[in-house]
A and B are shown apart, each in its own frame.
Chain A
Amino acid sequence: MKLRNIALSNIKRRKAKISFLLAGLMVGVATVVALVTITITLNQDIEEKLDRFGANIVISPRTEGLSLAYGGISLGGVSYNVKEISSEEVARIDRIKNRKNIKVIAPKTLGVVAISSKSVLLAGIDVPRELEMKQWWQIEGRAPETDSEVLAGKVVAESLGLSPGSSIAIKGRELKVSGVIGATGSQDDEILFTSIATAQSLLGKEGLYSLVEVSALCRDCPVDEIVAQISAQIPGARVSAVQQVVKSKMQALDHLVKLTMGISAVVLFIGVLIVMVTMMGSIKERTREIGIFRAIGFRQGHIMKIILLEAVIVSFAAGVLGWIFGIGVAKVSLPLFAEGEAGAVALNLSLAVGAVLMAVLTGLLSSIYPAMKAVRMAPNEALRILY
């Protein structure tokens, strides 16, 4: 028999009261967990969608001449003799402070080549990186795996009569078409893609890049800062951000987050209040019991230990159950908020820890005051209490 056995016996034998307390706290925790989880999940959902948008920072050489357009984005004059970006400069992007926010760096070498007397825009790409950035590409056939393969945009393929497996000759070099990209509605439809090495050698631009697309789309990304940091690293280039879409999406999300926080705060407040009142009542009820403990020589600290241990056990359980319950509610109700794929809720470790901590803190805080009051009473007085 130790002090903790007293606490455990109380929990074990007064199930009805304890369950009531536990349920109250659990519902509070569950509500907050559900709301936060829904927000986080929607957040991630939007983040993923934003990632699929592709590049949001474009680095191009400074140029005084005319510009060609690429995907609606102003580029350096790719077909004329302008300064290009060197691979050494591309490497410098890795050194910026916010490197961790950058998901993909996709350098390209662009140029015009003649194929069966037609002028075609040839783009040398880092295939895996490009594919990561352009997740919407639907390739008939497969992506190029060697330097002697090309990937054709839909329009180019139609105009040159290409299909997976066919061959083309550029500047006397035989290249095989590994795949054709399904129509994207963008500039990509009119480009012939190949490996950087091949493009650079065909265009005579060894070690040079025409532009670098950077994907740094993520929530809270300081895009402006990233742009500034890259500009500082590559002074000779023009760095521009495509932000509009991101900003408006983020704003919508921010409203949702604020709403969730507001509701959570209210729920939490009410929950804490309920737990406090219940705890106070239950400790007051036990004043006489506390008088007995005091009479047989327990110190105030001993009794506090019993009461607080009970509070911690009950509220810890409420926290864990509340978290599980909250995740369940989020899972069930998420399809109401987000169109499309349901079921995959975001399991956030800090939310789990936070939920349990919050419950335990609430339990502790609401029992400390009444417990202190009760144990400080003269034992005589406490024993006299009638209930």
Chain B
Amino acid sequence: MSFITVRNMGKRYESGGVPVDALNGVSLQVGQGEFLAVVGESGSGKSTLLSLLGGLDRPTEGSLEVDGLDVYSLRGEKLADFRSEYLGFVFQSFQLIPYLTTLENTMLPLAIAPMKNREKRAAGIHALRRVGLEDKIDRLPHQLSGGEQERAALARAIVNDPPVLLADEPTGNLDSKNGEAVMNLLKDLNREGITIVMVTHNLGYTRYASRTIKLQDGRIVPFTDDDSSCAVTFETERKTAEEGGDSSGAARIAVPVTAAVPVT
């Protein structure tokens, strides 16, 4: 059964009078407990899709349903309440609050929860233990390594047990060792039942996902995950495409496959 349903979603940005269709007619279903990876070239609309899944912006057209709730019919602060109740976010650039300690950053989503301080602290420490940061709870973000910051961000995302975790390139700033560690954490969380949608540039990490979709020019296109070596190919192609301005290069690896299930 579908937990997240995206119908015909489009997002148009107006930048300097020129309209950019960052997303175009995207339809998608994610089942409860799924781990969905989203890949695609830079600028293909991955972050846009993720922020729309998280109610961080409003789509130009289409609709989003989460747990039977028509998200974009929510008015005013109800959208914030939806985020608070359903979602955990992890971003590539960590997005920790610089003047709060690891524990305080982790407890941040609970600041507006009707819980006792003691319970909040316990939940924060539990989440930090989950990501292996329990011995760094009083550090400020700038006193943590990149990997530790990412794990702190992950702890913050899961501290209030949200049903859905949205991650935008959670390993983007990490070396492969730290990256694998974060991926393993995500996999564990997914096994415990949290639904994950993760944007990644690293095709190697799609093997952690239960399903992978690919975006290209704001549309879902078929993706093949049969060969993890194509991760390298993809990265190389992407670089070539960016440098040479030849976007057709990356498209070559996109082979039709059944992984992506667009709904109509």
Residues from 109 to 130 in B contacting A, C-beta threshold 8 Å: 109-112, 117, 120-121, 124
Q: How far, in Å, is A131 (CB) from chain B's closest CB?
A: 66
Q: How far, in Å, is A42 (CB) from chain B's closest CB?
A: 46
Give the residue of B57, B104, B109, B156 whose beta carbon is less than 8 angstroms from that of A9: B104
CA–CA, A14 to B56, complex, Å? 28
Q: Please encode chain A, from 1 to 33, with 1 for each CB lying within 8 Å of some chain B CB and 0 for all others.
A: 111011001101110000000000000000000
CA–CA, A351 to B107, complex, Å? 42
Binds A, one of B33-41, B77-85, B218-226, B236-244: B77-85
Judge whether A289 is part of the interface by a CB distance below 8 angstroms. Answer: yes
Taking a contact as CB atoms under 8 Å apart, the answer to whether A302 and B112 are in contact is yes
Q: Please encode chain A, from 266 to 299, with 1 for each CB lying within 8 Å of some chain B CB and 0 for all others.
A: 0000000000000000000000110111111111
Taking a contact as CB atoms under 8 Å apart, the answer to whether B77 and A301 are in contact is yes
Name B80's closest neighbour in chain A (CB-CB): A299
Q: Please encode chain B, from 70 to 108, with 1 for each CB lying within 8 Å of some chain A CB and 0 for all others.
A: 000000010011111101110100011111100010011
Q: DSSP class of B's interface residues: helix, strand, loop or mixed?
A: helix
Judge whether A139 is part of the interface by a CB distance below 8 angstroms. Answer: no
Interface size class of B (residues with CB under 8 A): 35 or more
Contacts of B80 in A (CB 8 A): 294, 297-300
Taking a contact as CB atoms under 8 Å apart, the answer to whether A296 and B57 are in contact is no
CA–CA, A3 to B77, complex, Å? 17
Q: How many residue pairs at the A-B interface have CB separations less than 8 Å?
A: 87
Taking a contact as CB atoms under 8 Å apart, the answer to whether B51 and A297 are in contact is no
Judge whether B254 is part of the interface by a CB distance below 8 angstroms. Answer: no
Give the residue of A1, A288, A292, A383 whose beta carbon is less than 8 angstroms from that of B111: A1
CA–CA, A3 to B120, complex, Å? 13
CA–CA, A292 to B80, complex, Å? 12
Q: How far, in Å, is B261 (CB) from chain A's closest CB?
A: 26
Taking a contact as CB atoms under 8 Å apart, the answer to whether A379 and B95 are in contact is no
Judge whether B140 is part of the interface by a CB distance below 8 angstroms. Answer: yes
Given A5-B111, A300-B77, check contact A295 B83 (CB 8 Å): yes
Judge whether B54 is part of the interface by a CB distance below 8 angstroms. Answer: yes
Taking a contact as CB atoms under 8 Å apart, the answer to whether A1 and B99 are in contact is no
Contacts of A299 in B (CB 8 A): 77, 80-81, 112
CA–CA, A3 to B244, complex, Å? 49
Taking a contact as CB atoms under 8 Å apart, the answer to whether B100 and A6 are in contact is yes
Taking a contact as CB atoms under 8 Å apart, the answer to whether A289 and B109 are in contact is no
Contacts of B108 in A (CB 8 A): 1, 6, 292-293, 296
Q: How far, in Å, is A299 (CB) from chain B's closest CB?
A: 4
Give the residue of A10, A13, A289, A296 whose beta carbon is less than 8 angstroms from that of B83: A296
A-B contacts, 7 listed (Cβ < 8 Å): A1-B104, A10-B99, A288-B95, A297-B85, A299-B77, A380-B57, A383-B95
Given A1-B108, A299-B112, A383-B91, 16 additional A-B pairs, CB 8 A: A3-B112, A5-B111, A14-B99, A288-B95, A291-B95, A295-B56, A295-B89, A296-B83, A297-B85, A297-B109, A298-B80, A298-B84, A298-B111, A378-B57, A379-B56, A379-B57
